[in-house]
Chain A
Amino acid sequence: MNRINQKIQENKKLLSIYFSAGYPNLEDTKSIIKNLEASGVDMIEIGLPFSDPLADGETIQQSSTQALKNGMSTALLFEQLKGIRSTVTIPLIIMGYFNPILQYGVADFCKKCHALGIDGLIIPDLPLAVYQEQYQKIFEHYGLINIFLITPQTTVERIHHIDKQSKGFIYMVSSASVTGGKSGFGNVQIDYFKRIEKMRLKTPQIIGFGIADYLTFKLATNHAKGAIIGSAFIKALTSNGVTGIEDFINQIKNEQNT
C-alpha cells in the first residue's frame, strides 16, 4: 500500500510540512527531510522550485527564487533524493508547477519519483480534466498518488467529483488566498471547515494555507485529518536554519497531547 494511505489510516491528526528544495542552502534537502522526520512530522511536501509560482505568496516565491539562484534543478533534486528511503519512512510528496515536470517529461518524471520512493505529487496548475485524459495512467503505473485541491469557492458538485477521483487525501485550501496570505481563521473559515466535514467525503482532507502555529493547526485539525504548514516553516528556516527545525515542530505540536 502507498505510504500516504498507510499514514492516513493512523489514528491521529497529521502534520505535513512543505519546504522549497534548495533553500536556504542548495544541499539542505536531505537534512531538512531527516530533521522533519526526527521531529515527529507525519508527511513532507518537497517543493520543486519554479520561476513563476502563480498560487504562492511572497515567502514561497522568495524561497523558490533563492533556490533557483542556488542552482536547484529537477535533475539535481532527484540526485539529492537518491537513497532517501534507506533512512526516511514517512510519506514524501513532490509539489511543483507543471511546466518543469512537462519539460522533464511526465513519464520520465513519474518513473524517477517511483524509483526514489516518492509517494505522490501535488501539481496545482495541472487541471483535473487534463490529468485524467493524458496522465492518470502514467501516474498509476508508477504507483503515484496525485493530490487534488478544493477551495471555499469549489461547488458541491465539483467537490463530489474531486472526491470520487481522489486517492490519499484532498488538499483543502483554507481560504481564498495565495499561500502565506492570511493568518488566523475567522468564522468564515471555520464554517467552511464544518461544511466540508459534514459532507462526509470518502477521501480524508488535509487543510493547508494560513496554518502557522499551534492554534491554527488545532483549529484546522478539529475538522480535518491533518494540516499543512509551508510559509511559516520557511520563515522559521530563514531565521533559524536547519538546526531550528525541532523547536519549530515542537511549538506546533506543543500542547497537542495535553
Chain B
Amino acid sequence: MQYNINENGYYGDFGGAYIPEMLYPNIEELRQNYLKIMTEPDFITEFNALLKDYVGRPSPLYFAKRLSTRYNTKIYLKREDLNHTGAHKINNTIGQILVAKRLGKNRIIAETGAGQHGVATATVCALMNMECIVYMGEVDIVRQAQNVARMKILGAKIVPVLSGSKTLKDATNEAIRDWINHPVDTHYIIGSVVGPHPYPDMVARFQAVISKEIQWQLQEKEGRSNPDYVIACVGGGSNAAGAYYHYLENTDVKLIAVEAAGKGVYSGESAATSILGNEGIIHGSKTLLMQTQDGQIVEPYSISAGLDYPGVGPMHANLFKSGRAEFIAITDDQAMTAGLELCQLEGIIPAIETSHSLAIFNQKKFKPNDVLVINLSGRGDKDLNTFINHFKL
C-alpha cells in the first residue's frame, strides 16, 4: 500500500483539485512547475542555506529526561519551537516564496488562524521584498492581537475577514477569492497540507525536512533511525506531515495523530475531524471534513486557534481510513494540563496546538523501551494569556 501521493494527486481516495475554472490556470501552472523547481540545484542550495542560516536548522532532537521518567518511556522532542518565528510554519513559507520568485510572482497572499503562518509569511516576504497580504478572520484578529502586531511590523497588510464565522476557514475562502481576482501576478502561500493538488504535496515536501533530520539525529542518539512512534498534532496537518514524511512507507514506525476534542468530542464544540467528519470537499480537496448531512461545512471549536479547522489534509484522511495512523482526540483541559506539565518538567513552554500531542500519555501506555518522537511544533509565547487565564495564574 502506498501512503504518499500518487501521480494523479491523490492519497488513496483523497486529494485532487476540486477548483472552479477561474483557478485552473493558477493551479495548473503550479502543478506543472513545482517539482521541477524544487529539484533544481540552485533552488536546493538556496532553500537549504536559508533553512540553516535564517531559520536555524537543524532543529535539535532533545531527549526529555524528566518527561520520560514521568511516563516510564523514552521521549524525544523535535524542537521546531526553536525555529525562527517560533514554529515549523517557516519551513514551508521559505520554500513557497522561493517557488513564487521562480514563477515570476511579485504579490503574496496567505490565510492565517492563530497568526503563526501569517507571521511566517510576512517574515519571508520582508526577506524577499515582496508585497504581502494576509487574510485573517475578525474574531482571530481580536484573539491574536500580538501576532497581528508582528505581521504589521514586518510590513504585511492584514485584511479582516467578515464573512461566515470570521475564523480560519473563512480566511482561507477569502484568500482563494483574492487569487481568483489576481490570477497572474499573485502566489497563494497556503499554510498547511490542505487545498487543491499540488498544495498538500508541496507543503509536505517542504516540511519533510523535519523527519529527514529525525532520522539522522535519532541514529546519532539511539543507534537507530526509526523510532517506535512519531506523534504530532493535526489541524490541517502540516507539522504531522513533515514529521511522518520519511516514515510513511515504513510500517515499523507507528504514527499517532492528535486531534483537538475541544470541550469534548461530542460536546458540539470540537475539532476532532476523524471522528466527527466524513468524506467531502473543502477548499478544493477531497478529504474528511466536519459537515451537516446536507453538506454544509460545520464550524469547529478548539482552544487552540491552529487546530480550529473543520477538515484535515488529504494525506491524513488516507492515513486515518487505511489505519496507518492512530488518531487520538484530546480536550482543551487535557491539552492545557499537559502543556503546563512540560513547562514545569522541562522548562519548555509549548504552543497549545503542540500541548495536545503531549497529553496522549493519559490515553495510551507505552513500554519502557519504546522510543517516541513528539514533534514539538511551536512555542507557546503566543499563548501566554490563554495559559494565565486557564490556570488563573
Chain A residues within 8 Å of B, Cβ to Cβ: 50-55, 57-58, 61, 65, 68, 73-75, 97-104, 124-128, 130, 148-151, 153-155, 158, 173, 176-178, 181
Contact = CB atoms under 8 A, between A and B. Distances in A.
A176 B176 contact: no
B22 A99 contact: no
A53 B183 CA distance: 18
B18 A130 contact: yes
B181 A151 contact: no
A154 B294 CA distance: 32
Given A54-B176, A54-B177, A125 B19 contact: yes
B180 interface: yes
B282 A99 contact: yes
Nearest to B280: A99
A149 B294 contact: no
Contacts of A104: 294-295
A163 to B, nearest CB: 13
B291 interface: yes
Contacts of B163: 58, 61, 65
Contacts of B173: 52-54
Given A65-B164, A103-B291, A50 B22 contact: no
Nearest to A100: B295
B386 to A, nearest CB: 27
Nearest to A54: B176
Contacts of A155: 25
Given A50-B296, A102-B295, A176 B18 contact: no
The 9 closest A-B pairs by CB, nearest first: A103-B295, A100-B295, A149-B21, A124-B20, A51-B296, A153-B25, A55-B20, A99-B295, A99-B281
B18 A125 contact: yes
Contact of B297 (A51, A125, A149, A176): A51
Nearest to A50: B296
Given A99-B280, A177-B181, A150 B169 contact: no
Nearest to B26: A153
B21 A103 contact: no
Contact of B21 (A52, A74, A97, A150): A150
A176 B294 contact: no
Contacts of A99: 280-282, 291, 295, 297
Interface string B161-182: 0011000011001001100111
A103 B20 contact: no
A165 B255 CA distance: 44
B16 interface: yes
B20 A154 contact: no
Nearest to B163: A61
B297 A52 contact: yes
Interface residues of B, number: 32
Interface in B170-226: 170, 173, 176-177, 180-184
A57 B296 contact: no
B17 interface: yes
Contacts of A97: 281
B181 A154 contact: no
Contacts of A125: 18-20, 281, 284
Contacts of A178: 22, 177, 180-181
Nearest to A182: B181
Interface of B: 16-22, 24-25, 163-164, 169-170, 173, 176-177, 180-184, 280-284, 291, 293-297
Contacts of B21: 124, 128, 148-151, 154, 173
Contacts of B22: 55, 124, 149, 151, 153, 173, 176, 178
B197 to A, nearest CB: 11
A205 to B, nearest CB: 13
17 contacts: A54-B176, A54-B284, A55-B22, A55-B180, A65-B164, A75-B294, A97-B281, A99-B282, A102-B281, A126-B18, A127-B19, A151-B21, A153-B183, A173-B21, A176-B22, A176-B184, A177-B180
Given A61-B163, A153-B184, 5 more contacts: A55-B180, A74-B295, A99-B291, A158-B24, A181-B181
Contacts of A61: 163
Contacts of A57: 177
Contacts of A176: 22, 180-184
A155 B297 CA distance: 33
Contacts of A75: 294
B361 to A, nearest CB: 37
A119 to B, nearest CB: 21
Given A54-B177, A98-B281, A154 B16 contact: no
A124 B22 CA distance: 9
Nearest to A55: B20
A181 B177 CA distance: 10
A68 B181 CA distance: 26
B280 A130 contact: no
Given A54-B177, A153-B25, A103 B184 contact: no
Contacts of A148: 21
**Max count, chain B CB within 10 A of own CB: residue among A97, A104, A127, A148:** A127
A172 to B, nearest CB: 10
Contacts of A181: 181
A208 to B, nearest CB: 12
Contacts of B17: 127
Contacts of A173: 21-22
A195 to B, nearest CB: 16
B295 A101 contact: yes
A238 to B, nearest CB: 17
B164 A51 contact: yes
Contacts of B182: 176
A80 B16 CA distance: 34
